[in-house]
Structure 1
Amino acid sequence: MEVFRASAFTADRPWGALDIANMGGVTVRLHWTDQPYKWHVNDGEEVFAVLDGRVEMRYRDSGVEHRTVLGTGDVFYAAIGTEHVAHPIGEARILVVEREGSI
């Protein structure tokens, strides 16, 4: 048993992560960031839950870019092939569940 205090977690670089679990090839990681990530497509599904802060999630559907702001408690699901990028608004802490080795 282990308790993780997400609100107290910081990293030494944007998108630094604390590995919480690997469940048969599916990872659960806590990220801290104050900088955007990069446009990418995961090789599997991804669940992205904002635990603290706000994040503007940008994603492309049929070549059209969409944007939505996620607040604390909001969850974004990226299906296989969803091109997306996260832009934090200030500092944010995010729980990411995805296939091991995804970018």
Structure 2
Amino acid sequence: MSCRVVRSCAFTAERAWGALDIANLDGTTVRLHWTDQPYVWHVNDGQEVFVVLDGEVQMHYRDGGEERQVLLGVGDLFYAAVGCEHVAHPRGAARILVVEREGSV
């Protein structure tokens, strides 16, 4: 299929952080995630762009050893550089578009 439409607000998964693979751009994945549960603290081995498409997500991250957090709403994005420790906590159900290196943690 050369084209497709994804209605992100209609997407659900069978488990928290379940994903729909949208595209692989020469080793960079674009995936739509649905979740209603927090993820785990982690550090990606590549850069990550995290875009909230539906819902709200409280993003916790560590910067210079200090824990910080920011509330992300629809249309907001969070960029995590290599080495940025972070964890996403949705407030209720959320749909998130994640762009990252294929196989990244």
Deviant stretches of 4+, over 2 Å: none
| Cα deviation, residue 32, structure 1 | 0.1
2:10 and 2:59 map into 1 onto residues whose CA distance is 23
Instruction: Tell me which residue corresponds to 1:23.
Output: 25
1:12 and 1:20 map into 2 onto residues whose CA distance is 17
1:10 alignment partner, SS class? coil
Q: Which amino acid aligns with 2:30?
A: V
Structure 2: stretches of 5+ with no match in the other structure? none
2:57 and 2:22 map into 1 onto residues whose CA distance is 21
User: What is the TM-score of this pair, normalised by structure 2?
Assistant: 0.97
Deviation by residue 1:63-93 (Cα, 9 ceiling, x = unmatched): 1000000000000000110000000000000
1:26 and 1:81 map into 2 onto residues whose CA distance is 18
Instruction: Tell me which residue corresponds to 1:14.
Output: 16
1:7 alignment partner, SS class? helix
Instruction: Tell me which residue corresponds to 2:45.
Output: 43
2:71 and 2:32 map into 1 onto residues whose CA distance is 19
2:83 alignment partner, SS class? coil
1:69 and 1:101 map into 2 onto residues whose CA distance is 27
Give the superposed CA RMSD.
Answer: 0.4
Trace 1:1-103 onto structure 2 (pairs within 5 A): 1-103=3-105
Structure 1: stretches of 5+ with no match in the other structure? none
| Cα deviation, residue 56, structure 1 | 0.1
1:28 and 1:47 map into 2 onto residues whose CA distance is 9
Q: Which amino acid aligns with 1:68?
A: V
| Cα deviation, residue 62, structure 1 | 1.3
| Cα deviation, residue 44, structure 1 | 0.5
